[in-house]
């Protein structure tokens, strides 16, 4: 953990600067005390960072839970009662980890994960525009994370109320980030670009002081300032344990646990995909770590937490190597909030917006779309694009859900296309059609096999070979048996069923060798064709 402390400290510092306004903004949007967001960020960094098996993911309060938290606090009547739900959520998550429910993450298609990343990247850019141009009227909406979609009206309003000083600071920050990737600045890469952007923003605003470009407190990071240690401690809220007697507390806890677990697993998969060292994170361990973190967060007055892709991707872009960076970011939240909040309150939000906009671009740059189109084809690109668009226009879970449905459609469509591989041979004494069934033949293949059997011409010899098949659905077996017993005899079709398991109880087969021997005239070489379902149907129906 300490082998790369230099790069981890720098990336932890950058993530801390990004996480700070996000923690406050999410708390504000959730209708919770602002300090609850900071507590969640501290727990997510120090506790979950230490317990997690992921090297690069960062945990904290997530925008995807804001609606649930806002409604729950209103229904339960008090924040300290809501904290009981957070504890319940943590216990449920820990149980899910023990039951190894994290393996569900292995079933998220790459196209959907890539689409989720691109969608979040676009959302980050769009949602940071208000802060980048200094629009403050609906600042709490622009501050929250990128998992909950965006409101197009905010962008329109923001562009009508541009604050020149903020726009200059954001533009300079983006230019610095771009230049830092060029060869001309290669010698300066040991200095983190994100830190340079933040310091430059503070200096520029100091230069603007006294003029029209100067940014006041509404455009700067806003952190609660405690005037004493006891005042700082008083910010922590303890749960009202009587809330555990309320069934609504348990219901809310289960809902939070399910949503938080899904978001965590999605973000974990996405983070592993972005990891330059291609390490894999143990999902069940992550659920247990998240569970412990949420229980602790609820005990000391924090919001529920999940793994969050915005901070995780910023962590990766800042050069993090191990999970020490996440721990450092949590420690810095604790230390700086307790000791130097007035210094942090000098940082322009426009500087942080510049870092996030550049991070968003890295996630959704045109090369990503071109790569998916060229190398993934239509079947990969459509779920990818649909996920990206829906994540931007709706929210993370809905976008991923729609992407999954489209991916499953293509999987089922492909499965229906390959029920068997055929070989068709024309001898002087007759014709032989051999159908070699796929490894798995499900009910989805019933229609194509039925269509094939229906179009077999009279007096044909047919072999259905199941020797390479591990599973055949009951409906398909029933179809083959019925055809063999009735329609095949009516059309004088001689069927031979070979390679079927004894448990399938199909009629005794004639070997392929015996069938060919009857049809072939000496060493006759037949006319042959081979291929898949579509090709054979075209031949049998005369449309080839």
pLDDT computed for residue 168 by the predictor? 95
| 142 inside domain | yes
pLDDT computed for residue 79 by the predictor? 95
Structure-token pair, residue 342: 């007035």
Helix (H) or strand (E) holding 55: none
Q: Is 375 in the same domain as 523?
A: no
487, exposed or middle or buried, with CB in 10 Å at 0-12, 13-18, 19+? middle
Q: Is 188 in the same domain as 96?
A: yes
Q: Is 427 in the same domain as 360?
A: no
Calculate the CA dihedral of residues 83, 85, 91, 93 and round it to 10 degrees: -110
Q: Is 72 in the same domain as 210?
A: yes
Residues written for the chain: 544
Structure-token pair, residue 152: 């197009």
Rounded CA separation 14/236 (Å): 25
Q: Is 385 in the same domain as 426?
A: no
Q: Is 218 in the same domain as 325?
A: yes
Of the three residues 372, 390, 408, the one that is the final residue of a domain is 390
Closest CA to 462 of 405, 516, 523: 516
CATH number, domain containing residue 500: 3.30.750.24
Q: Is 258 in the same domain as 312?
A: yes
Q: Is 346 in the same domain as 457?
A: no
pLDDT computed for residue 525 by the predictor? 83
Q: Is 433 in the same domain as 367?
A: no
For 490-519, what is each residue's pLDDT tens digit? 899 999 999 888 888 887 778 888 888 888
3-state SS, residue 59: strand
pLDDT computed for residue 142 by the predictor? 46
Those residues of the chain that have pLDDT short of 70 are 137-152, 415-417, 544
Rounded CA separation 305/89 (Å): 10
As for how many domains the chain has, the answer is 2
User: Which residue range forms the structural domain that includes residue 450?
Assistant: 418-541
Q: Is 362 in the same domain as 449?
A: no
pLDDT computed for residue 149 by the predictor? 60
| 217 inside domain | yes
| 118 inside domain | yes
Of the three residues 374, 390, 406, the one that is the final residue of a domain is 390
**CA torsion sign, 108 to 114 to 119 to 123?**
positive
Angle at 488 between CA 483 and CA 489, to 5 degrees: 125
| 409 inside domain | no
Q: Is 381 in the same domain as 294?
A: yes
| 399 inside domain | no
Q: Is 314 in the same domain as 449?
A: no
pLDDT computed for residue 288 by the predictor? 97
Rounded CA separation 375/357 (Å): 27
pLDDT computed for residue 300 by the predictor? 95
Structure-token pair, residue 397: 């879970």
| 376 inside domain | yes
Rounded CA separation 126/144 (Å): 12
pLDDT computed for residue 141 by the predictor? 43
For 92-145, what is each residue's pLDDT tens digit? 999 999 999 988 888 888 888 889 888 888 887 888 888 889 887 654 444 455
| 408 inside domain | no
Q: State residue 300 phi and psi, 5-degree precision.
A: -115, 15
Rounded CA separation 523/503 (Å): 37
231, exposed or middle or buried, with CB in 10 Å at 0-12, 13-18, 19+? exposed
Contact (CB, 8 A) for 201 and 173? yes
Q: Taking every pair of C-alpha atoms in the chain, what is the biggest distance, in angstroms?
A: 104
């Amino acid at each position: 953990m300490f082998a790369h402390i230099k790069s981890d400290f720098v990336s932890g510092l950058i993530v801390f600067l990004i996480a700070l306004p996000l923690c406050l903004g999410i708390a504000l949007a959730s209708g919770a005390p602002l300090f609850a967001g900071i507590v969640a960020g501290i727990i997510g960094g120090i506790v979950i960072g230490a317990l997690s098996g992921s090297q690069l993911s960062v945990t904290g309060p997530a925008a995807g839970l804001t609606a649930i938290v806002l409604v729950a606090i209103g229904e339960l009547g008090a924040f300290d009662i809501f904290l009981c739900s957070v504890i319940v959520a943590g216990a449920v998550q820990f149980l899910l980890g023990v039951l190894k429910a994290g393996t569900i993450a292995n079933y998220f298609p790459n196209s959907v994960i890539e689409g989720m990343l691109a969608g979040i990247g676009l959302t980050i850019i769009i949602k940071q525009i208000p802060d980048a141009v200094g629009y403050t009227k609906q600042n709490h909406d622009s501050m929250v994370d990128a998992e909950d979609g965006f409101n197009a009206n905010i962008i329109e309003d923001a562009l009508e109320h541009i604050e020149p000083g903020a726009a200059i600071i954001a533009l300079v920050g983006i230019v610095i980030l771009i230049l830092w990737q060029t060869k001309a600045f290669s010698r300066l890469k040991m200095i983190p670009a994100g830190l340079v952007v933040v310091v430059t923003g503070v200096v520029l605003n100091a230069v603007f002081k006294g003029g029209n470009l100067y940014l006041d407190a509404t455009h700067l990071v806003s952190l609660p300032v405690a005037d004493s240690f006891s005042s700082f401690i008083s910010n922590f809220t303890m749960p009202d344990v009587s809330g555990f007697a309320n069934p609504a507390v348990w219901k809310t806890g289960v809902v939070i646990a399910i949503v938080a677990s899904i978001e965590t697993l999605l973000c974990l998969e996405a983070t592993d995909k972005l990891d330059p060292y291609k390490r894999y994170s143990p999902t069940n361990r992550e659920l247990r770590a998240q569970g412990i973190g949420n229980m602790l967060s609820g005990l000391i007055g924090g919001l529920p937490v999940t793994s969050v892709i915005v901070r995780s991707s910023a962590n990766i872009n800042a050069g993090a190597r191990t999970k020490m960076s996440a721990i450092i970011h949590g420690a810095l939240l604790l230390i700086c909030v307790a000791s130097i909040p007035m210094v942090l309150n000098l940082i322009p939000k426009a500087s942080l917006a510049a870092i996030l906009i550049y991070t968003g671009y890295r996630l959704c740059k045109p090369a990503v779309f071109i790569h998916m189109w060229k190398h993934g084809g239509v079947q990969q690109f459509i779920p990818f694009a649909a996920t990206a668009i829906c994540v931007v226009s709706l929210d993370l879970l809905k976008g991923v859900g729609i992407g999954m449905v489209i991916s499953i459609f293509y999987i089922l469509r492909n499965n229906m296309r390959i029920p068997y591989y055929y070989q068709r041979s024309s001898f002087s004494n007759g014709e032989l059609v051999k159908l070699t069934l796929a490894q798995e033949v499900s009910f989805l293949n019933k229609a194509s096999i039925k269509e094939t059997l229906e179009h077999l011409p009279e007096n044909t010899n047919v072999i259905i070979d199941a020797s390479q098949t591990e599973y055949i659905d009951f409906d398909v077996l029933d179809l083959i048996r019925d055809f063999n017993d009735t329609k095949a005899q009516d059309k004088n079709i001689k069927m031979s069923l070979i390679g079927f398991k004894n448990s399938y109880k199909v009629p005794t087969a004639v070997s392929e060798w015996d069938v060919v021997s009857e049809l072939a005239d000496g060493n006759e070489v037949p006319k042959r064709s081979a291929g898949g379902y579509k090709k054979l149907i075209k031949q049998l129906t005369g449309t080839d």
